[in-house]
Amino acid sequence: MKSVKGHLRNRLVKARKKSAGQANIWLFYSFKLDADVPIIGDLEMLYWVSELETQPQVRRFTMEHEVEISLEELGDSFEEITVTRVEHIDGSIEFHQVASKQHDSFEKVSVPVRYKIENRIEKSHLVVIPAARLKAFSKSSLSFWLKVIAFVSQVRGYDLRYEMGQVGTSISICGDGTIETLLESLSITDPALAVGAVCRSVLQGNIIVDGLRSFGRNTRWRTP
């Protein structure tokens, strides 16, 4: 049986920029990038929602990023692959690939790698996300998070410092509750701005929600 490294080595080939072909094409607003993000294919859409946009530890990301990496601890053997470059809020970098074929495993596989950047070599991890994990997310939580993202998209471009301050004060006082009681505690006249500020707080990780069923006024929240 081949090792995980052996399987990954077989996948490390130079990739072209993705072509749409017959795949669905999506266009979503990303709060993390403050820009519209074109996404090709259903699996990539599920990956973007579950592993990037809704993960508070992710600061920024670059899809279709080409990088030279090596699975070896030493040596000059590097291969160029296409990945999603993920920058975390702690400054660490990961490279992600989606395994498009269906596998039984739901767990992500993370392998240490070296990569070239400018004139130096740094260490990171290559993370492979299996299709089974993304399809399970689609059944359990996709509609919930798409609704949160949609509310955030509706207030794009707004300066919500006042509204975010209101939400921060309320969650520090209350500690937990429902979205309805949280909204009722806010001194914000425009309901769209209030909901948008709450949903921004969710994406930032200031509010923890269960991410199941449909997001709405009965959704429960708590502080981290």
What's the one-letter identity of residue 215?
F
Chain CA centroid to CA 207, Å: 16
What's the one-letter identity of residue 191?
P
The pLDDT-based confidence of 6 (bands split at 50, 70, 90) is low
The pLDDT-based confidence of 7 (bands split at 50, 70, 90) is low
pTM of the model: 0.86
Residue 162: exposure state from Cβ atoms within 10 A (0-12, 13-18, ≥19): exposed
Quick: pLDDT tens for 17-51.
555 556 788 889 999 999 999 998 899 999 999 99
Question: Residue 67 pairs with which residues in a beta bridge?
Answer: 81
- Give mean pLDDT, residues 155-166: 96
Torsion of CA 147, 88, 224, 154, to 10 degrees: -30
Domains of the chain are 4-137 (3.40.1350), 141-222 (1.10.10)
Q: Percent of the chain scored above 90 by pLDDT?
A: 75
Measured between alpha carbons, how far is 154 from 29 in angstroms, rounded to an integer? Answer: 9
Distance linking the first and last C-alpha atoms of the chain:
42
Q: Residues with Cβ < 8 Å from 136, sequence gap 6 or more?
A: 106
> Would you state the pLDDT for residue 75?
83
Torsion of CA 84, 31, 152, 194, to 10 degrees: 140
Quick: pLDDT tens for 77-86.
899 999 999 9
> Would you state the pLDDT for residue 14?
32
